[in-house]
Each structure stands twice: as C-alpha cells, then as structure tokens.
Copies of this chain bind each other. A is one copy, B any other.
C-alpha cells in the first residue's frame, strides 16, 4: 500500500520522483533513524571529496611523467625526430600473427619522390577513429585537420580543471598555432544536490575563438535569401549563418549548465563537456591505439548493436572516414572494459 498515494498527496513535480514506495510504511521512529543515516551519508561524501582532492593532486604530480612521453610522441608525429631501430622495436599491431605483420610491411607502398616527414594525418585519423569526435568532423574540416600536429592536456595548478591544447602547423586557414579549450572542475559537493555526488564534475568550459584568415572561416557560411517584406522585397540578400564544423568546438564562449537553459542548449553544453572529457581521457592518452584501430572508445559499446551488421565487410568507402565499431570489445557494460587477459576493469578509487 502506498500511503503517499492513498492520502492523495499534492506532490510538486520534483516530489513525484525521488523516493521508494516502502518509505511510506516506515514508522516515525524509523524515519528518524533513516534521517540520521542521511546525515552520515553527507559525512561520508565529504570524506569522498577529500579523497578526490588527493587524487587530483596525485594527477598533477604525475603530469610531467606523461608529458615527457607525449613530447617524444609529438616529435615523431611532427617529423622532428626520426626513430632509431631500437625505438621502433615494438610490433605495429598487437594480437596479430607474425606473418601478418611481415606481410603488411612487405606490401607497404614505396615512397615516391620526397620522403615523408613524421606521420601524415596522424591526429586527423585519431579524431576520426573516436566515435564522438568523428561525428564532429565535417568535410570542410578534413583539410584543416591535416595541419594538427599535437593535442595536449594540462591540469590546472590552482583551481581544479584542465586545458586542452590543439597544436597546429603553419597553415593557410588561421594564424593561431594553438587552439585551446579550458574546463573547470568542481571537486566538492554541489550545494543544490550534495547527495548526487559521484566525483569531480566539469562545471564550465571556455574557449577563445579562432583568428581565421580572410575567407577561410569554415564555421560560418554565407547564404542568399529572398527578402519577403519591406522596400527591397523580392531581392536577394546575403546572410552569414553558422556552419557545422569541428571548429565550432573553439567558439569564443564560456558555458555552464544552468537551470533556466532550453533543452537543446543544455544538450549542446553537455556534449561539449563530454567531448573535452573524451579527448583528455582517451584521445590524448591512447592516440596511437586509435590510429591503428586497436583501441575503442566507450561510445562504441552503445553503437555496437546498430553498427555490427554494416561493418561486416570492413570496407572503407567513406573517403577516409571509417568506422571502428566492429573492433569494439562488445558488451553493454558501463565503465567496464574487458582486459585482454580477462577480468573487468574497475576504478580502484571509485567508492
């Protein structure tokens, strides 16, 4: 029997969800005890925020170690350093036979004319192998992303957060050599809903726009419309409107979620936060595995069922935009990925 219902409570919308039916069967002394547990829960969550603060500090301590490895990566990708045999003594692919590896190398195209420098289109191919970022890349972005030579992530020193930096070679599109995006984290409990705490959250993002060369801005397009009213009715006028592009990610705005947001705007902001998170957690730290197709992003787990059939043939008929979902480890788990040797990946620190 649901007493709340039976008594015909006039519940505000926010009251309608958020509690279990068995609550209405609790006697007053028991309710008091549950309220005491709620207070203890708050205490426990406070401890948790201290824990996450320490993890964030630990992350800052480790940053230089990751940076050192990633700087070597950049040098090779950008053609600033040619690896020695010893530096390149790891097989191209993991989990394939020796014969396959040899055949791939034997049949690799011979370089004609100028020898190549670095790894052309490396970052373009990486971003294009991660479902979330691949969806952001439009045709107009492809030539520009060929100039992307590094993506780095840096934890902020004082206020918690991180900055993503996209490093570009000199190019005809814009004058910037680095495009940046800042994310601000909140490690403490939220005042509005402390009980929803589940670790640090992105609460704000900020970027500063791009200094496009004249006529090169792919984030806008000019359209012709026919005037319907007024003195110039019937005449064509041109109008500059937004264009779909990966580079909208760097639009000059500061965004935060807010209760008053329209659904569509909220969706957009969440998407932006998620992009930042994926680039930081997966793209920056696992780039070459996305390049070779050995890594899958978490998004793939969701797309699996839909995409499985399409990808059976493994063909890449999409002008370089391929889909790796058939390489996914399958399964619909969250935060859980198969370890190669078996086992479920867990966060030791997630309490």
Contact = CB atoms under 8 A, between A and B. Distances in A.
A267 to B, nearest CB: 10
24 contacts: A3-B109, A4-B104, A14-B97, A18-B294, A20-B125, A21-B316, A27-B108, A28-B108, A30-B119, A33-B82, A37-B119, A38-B90, A38-B292, A39-B87, A41-B286, A54-B58, A55-B58, A59-B348, A94-B193, A200-B346, A274-B344, A301-B334, A334-B334, A334-B335
A289 B195 contact: yes
Contacts of A337: 196, 198
A50 B100 CA distance: 33
Nearest to A53: B348
Interface string A1-19: 0111101010110111111
A40 B90 CA distance: 9
Interface stretch (A221-229, A243-251, A318-326): A318-326
B201 A289 contact: no
Nearest to A124: B22
A17 B304 CA distance: 14
A347 interface: yes
> Which of A95, A119, A259, A339 counts the most B-chain CB atoms under 10 A from its CB?
A339
Interface in A179-232: 185-187, 190-203
Contacts of A37: 73, 76-77, 119, 287-288, 291
Contacts of A111: 27-29
A20 B258 CA distance: 40
Interface stretch (A62-70, A140-148, A167-175, A234-242): A62-70
A92 B20 CA distance: 12
Give the contact-size bracket for chain A. 35 or more
A313 to B, nearest CB: 9
Given A31-B92, A55-B349, A257 B343 contact: yes
A343 B201 contact: yes
A58 B349 contact: yes
A312 to B, nearest CB: 10
B59 A349 contact: yes
A268 interface: no
Interface string A267-294: 0001001100100110011111101111
Given A20-B129, A59-B349, A334-B298, A33 B341 contact: no
Contacts of A201: 339, 343-346
Contacts of A195: 94, 289, 294-295, 340
Contacts of A294: 18-19, 195
A107 interface: yes
Nearest to A298: B334
* Complex A-B, nearest 4 residue pairs according to Cβ-Cβ distance, in ascending order: A193-B340, A257-B342, A20-B293, A36-B83
A262 interface: no
A135 B284 CA distance: 38
A22 B281 contact: no
Given A40-B73, A109-B27, A277-B346, A47 B19 contact: no
A141 B280 CA distance: 45
Given A37-B287, A38-B92, A347-B347, 15 more contacts: A21-B316, A27-B110, A33-B82, A35-B89, A37-B76, A39-B89, A47-B65, A58-B349, A187-B348, A190-B340, A201-B343, A202-B344, A277-B336, A281-B347, A298-B334
